A = this chain, B = another copy of it.
């Protein structure tokens, strides 16, 4: 192999007959160094393609410009959008992102954290698994003075900044829209009680009904365990076969809504004439299905951006105790599944 030995400061110093420290400072235009020397060194470095040895610099400075990022699931439209935003923003600021996934399994999450801590990331971005409660593995980061920023799925047990979506409001606006469209018997297929996002959305749903004088029937609220399409299908069946079927279904997420759509189509129930359907998250497929699925956009890309910027901020300020909450607004995206008109334009409320 070629593997040419890399040029080091020592080489430059020897060739130019100066000391290593002068070479080092010259390259960073240190005010102590004479203009002439700076020019000389820089020219030489340029000509011979000197690149500082990152490993050495990182070791010396005890940092890597790498950030860890852990999500429950990588193959997931929302999370991959967040990652995309995180990576682009990190790159702009000279940081790299190390990605890992927990598969919603605590043990995997702990493992991923350990590996990242060991590989010396400068900070961590994490959306915790459903199984995570206390998060001792995250405290290990803080104890080493490495900041952590939580996003989307968070725990309050940890004193870190959190970037979240205004689930309550997004949900509220979605249901308000349904009501505005004339739907009166609105069901909700929700997620697990222990998961904060799910609870917030359920609360937004309830509040909207309350504020508009609609009845809140417990039998119209169904709880998913896994948030799978099949659950949407099954609950929809249950709802539609009940004595008092709803005229609209608001789903915890688009995937569940897909199951709902599938059932309704199979039974030739008209959407939205007979039953309106509202999703959440605005996955790619929401715009592809027919009719288009109304949904709530969570601005995943922006979430990734904000989280990274916050993390870099903490790193720069050696700030570890900070529990600021950054809440992103949601966008209601109205499509055919909730409007009889063929309007599939983006509509933003508020």
A residues contacting B by CB (< 8 A) are: 1-4, 6, 51, 54-56, 58-59, 62, 64-66, 74-77, 80-81, 83-84, 87-88, 91, 94, 96-101, 111-112, 115-116, 118-120, 142-145, 229, 255, 258, 261-262, 265-266, 284-285, 288-290, 318, 320-321
Q: Is the CB of B55 within 8 A of A120?
A: yes
In the bound complex, residues from chain B placing their C-beta under 8 Å from that of A2 are 142-143, 145
What are the 9 tightest A-B residue pairs by CB atom distance, in nearest-first order? Answer: A3-B145, A59-B59, A55-B59, A74-B84, A285-B285, A99-B99, A258-B288, A75-B80, A80-B80
In the bound complex, residues from chain B placing their C-beta under 8 Å from that of A88 are 101
Q: How far is the CA of A100 from the CA of B86 in the complex (A)?
A: 10
Instruction: With A143-B4, A288-B262 as known contacts, state yes or no: A80 contacts B91, CB within 8 Å.
Output: no
**Which one of A88, A96, A320 has the highest number of Cβ atoms from chain B below 10 Å of its Cβ?**
A96
Number of copies: 2
Q: Is the CB of B54 within 8 A of A55?
A: no
Instruction: With A100-B96, A288-B262 as known contacts, state yes or no: A119 contacts B65, CB within 8 Å.
Output: yes
Q: How far is the CA of A120 from the CA of B6 in the complex (A)?
A: 13
Q: How far is the CA of A90 from the CA of B220 in the complex (A)?
A: 45
Q: What are 26 A-B pairs with beta-carbon distances under 8 A? A: A1-B145, A2-B145, A3-B144, A51-B118, A55-B58, A55-B62, A55-B64, A56-B59, A59-B59, A65-B119, A66-B66, A74-B83, A75-B77, A75-B84, A75-B284, A76-B80, A84-B101, A91-B100, A91-B115, A94-B115, A98-B98, A99-B99, A258-B288, A265-B290, A266-B290, A285-B285
Nearest Cβ in chain B — how far from A205, in angstroms? 24
